[in-house]
């Protein structure tokens, strides 16, 4: 079984990633992850990284259309929490079937849904919504795409929102190649404008933009097929750090380098969570593709700023097994990090999935808990996505089961909520972000869940 269930092995043994970002359990009972995963949208193999790009091209205007006032800034306010709103579907009426809302991010009063478009057609889009206190609903504020995007760029395959800034990845730019790019948009009033187009600083991007995470004036970008120029290992993955300077100019600063040696197809940078001076990096890949075995996966914690980022934590699962895909998802809140391993077997249930909690004490990160679903089942892929609400509350997405599970730490024990968060249809669990007691996950359009609602249930 390919460790991500969606990565195909090219004839020369290298690592492939579909433009949807990897593991996608089939909704129709078709090919499973253990059966070999999904083919690229055109049915063929994806091209290897080639060619080069400059470090950063100047940003330009790129909005798909004028900003929508949504009642004006006076109407934008905090969405309700604890008011019995079990689930709120946003954007459902504005998306056609080809735009399934695969990638989501939430920050305060704003939500972003990225949609990588159709293979051989759309370049991809992102729609930005705000909570309107005037209409008591999520209103579309603007739809954006990159200034230079073309079909097959997969713009929207990763999104990260922080206040008035959003980073969006286009890992197949240009036109279905594996080089990639990341875009930064910034809001002024009610209008979002492209601030920068950031291209990989190395000759071959390696799906640069497959993961993005923005925090203040710092941006981390993952390229899980990239090659670090200081290493002889190919397709190990790279992460780059960029900072915003005067006039909104973004500059490449450095590449965080783990102290453990890179291995082929590590997929370092497949998942990222940057908050302030701390960056968590997931590397779920395997260096033994095609042999039926692999490695459990890894994650790292780096701290720093500007040009200097130092490894402060190396995270592995206490019971990690080959092909667990530990590191497929990562999240942090203060001294807590949670890492997903969606292909971990639970008892006789293959690929039921698990999530691991690590805490920092005295500067040392240690595993303190392993979480599984109370109704663990085969091919549920629990841990496909993870989010940390606080140091005592986490949420885990199970893409195969199409559910979200919330856990609370009390008295040294993590306890699962009595109810799960789900919709009657849609792909809840494929993506996940949290902010202010709310969680956003993918379905056709998007789904916002109130995590304080103990009676959350299937909502049509």
The domain made up of 56-450 has a fold known as: Methylamine Dehydrogenase; Chain H (2.130.10)
Q: What is the pLDDT of residue 394?
A: 97
Q: What is the pLDDT of residue 74?
A: 75
Q: What is the pLDDT of residue 351?
A: 96
Q: What is the pLDDT of residue 2?
A: 36
Give the residue from 73, 68, 194, 221 showing the smallest Cα distance to 133: 73
Name the pTM for this structure: 0.83
Q: What is the pLDDT of residue 64?
A: 46
Query: What is the residue extent of each domain of the chain?
Result: 56-450
pLDDT classification of 6: cutoffs 50, 70, 90: very low
43-60 per-position pLDDT tens digit: 232 232 223 233 333 333
pLDDT classification of 66: cutoffs 50, 70, 90: very low
Q: What is the pLDDT of residue 384?
A: 95
Q: Mean pLDDT, the chain, as a whole number?
A: 78
105-129 per-position pLDDT tens digit: 999 899 999 887 665 567 788 999 9
């Amino acid at each position: 079984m390919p460790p991500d269930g969606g990565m195909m092995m090219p004839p020369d043994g290298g690592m492939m990633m579909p433009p949807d970002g990897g593991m996608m359990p089939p909704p129709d009972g078709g090919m499973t992850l253990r059966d070999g995963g999904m083919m690229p949208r055109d049915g063929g193999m994806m091209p290897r990284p080639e060619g080069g790009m400059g470090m950063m091209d100047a940003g330009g205007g790129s909005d798909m259309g004028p900003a929508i006032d949504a009642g004006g800034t006076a109407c934008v306010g905090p969405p309700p929490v604890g008011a019995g709103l079990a689930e709120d579907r946003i954007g459902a009426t504005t998306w056609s079937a080809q735009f399934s809302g695969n990638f989501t991010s939430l920050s305060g009063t704003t939500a972003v849904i990225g949609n990588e478009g159709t293979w051989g057609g759309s370049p991809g889009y992102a729609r930005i919504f705000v909570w309107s206190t005037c209409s008591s609903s999520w209103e579309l504020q603007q739809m954006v795409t990159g200034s230079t995007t073309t079909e097959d760029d997969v713009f929207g395959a990763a999104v990260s929102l922080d206040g008035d800034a959003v980073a969006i990845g286009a890992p197949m730019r240009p036109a279905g190649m594996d080089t990639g790019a990341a875009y930064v948009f910034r809001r002024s009033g009610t209008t979002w404008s492209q601030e920068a187009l950031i291209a990989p600083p190395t000759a071959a991007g390696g799906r640069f933009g497959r993961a993005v995470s923005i925090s203040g004036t710092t941006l981390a970008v993952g390229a899980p097929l990239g090659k670090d120029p200081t290493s002889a290992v190919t397709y190990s993955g790279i992460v780059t750090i960029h900072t915003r300077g005067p006039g909104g100019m973004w500059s490449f600063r450095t590449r965080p380098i783990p102290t453990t040696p890179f291995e082929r197809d590590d997929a370092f940078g497949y998942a990222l969570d940057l908050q302030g001076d701390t960056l968590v990096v997931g590397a779920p890949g395997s260096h033994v593709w095609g042999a039926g075995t692999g490695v459990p996966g890894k994650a790292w914690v780096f701290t720093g700023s500007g040009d200097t980022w130092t490894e402060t934590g190396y995270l592995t699962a206490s019971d990690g097994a080959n092909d667990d895909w530990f590191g497929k998802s990562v999240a942090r809140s203060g001294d807590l990090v949670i890492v997903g391993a969606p292909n971990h077997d639970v008892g006789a249930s293959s690929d039921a999935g698990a999530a691991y909690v690590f805490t920092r004490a005295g500067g040392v990160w240690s595993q303190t808990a392993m979480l599984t679903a109370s109704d663990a089942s085969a091919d549920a892929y629990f841990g496909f996505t993870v989010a940390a609400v606080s140091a005592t509350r986490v949420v885990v997405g199970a893409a195969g089961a199409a559910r979200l599970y919330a856990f609370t730490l009390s008295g040294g024990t993590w306890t699962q909520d009595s109810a799960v968060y789900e919709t009657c249809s849609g792909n809840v669990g494929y993506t996940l972000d949290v902010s202010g007691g709310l969680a956003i996950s993918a379905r056709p359009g998007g789904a916002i869940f109130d995590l304080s609602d103990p009676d959350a249930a299937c909502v049509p």
